[in-house]
Amino acid sequence: MTKEVKVLGTGCANCQTTLQLIEQVAEEQGADIDLQKVEDIGDIMSYGVMSTPGVVVDGEVVHAGGVPDRKKLAEWLAG
């Protein structure tokens, strides 16, 4: 089943790094994901995220502020 993954952020370096990291981990795991970048401030705020990057997996905010580590990403994509 495809997981919907969104990276919330306006395009800062940490947001770009998070996006790339998710792509790498998904590829390593063979995870089927629909990866989206959300840059609109209104959309980001609608998730209640105040510090970016934020990560949303299947509609649930799982991370906000800073680049998540690979282990956490692997857990989110697997679980």
Averaged pLDDT, groups of 10, the chain, 79 residues long: 95 94 96 96 95 96 96 91
Q: Which residues touch 72 (CB under 8 Å, ≥6 apart)? A: 62, 63
69 in any annotated domain: yes
Its domain, for residue 32, covers: 22-53+60-79
Quote the pLDDT of residue 1: 85
How many domains does the chain fold into?
Answer: 1
Quote the pLDDT of residue 79: 74
71 in any annotated domain: yes
26 in any annotated domain: yes
Quote the pLDDT of residue 43: 96
Cα–Cα distance for residue pair 64/7, rounded to 1 Å = 10
6 in any annotated domain: no
12 in any annotated domain: no
16 in any annotated domain: no
Q: Which residues pair with 63 in a beta bridge?
A: 55
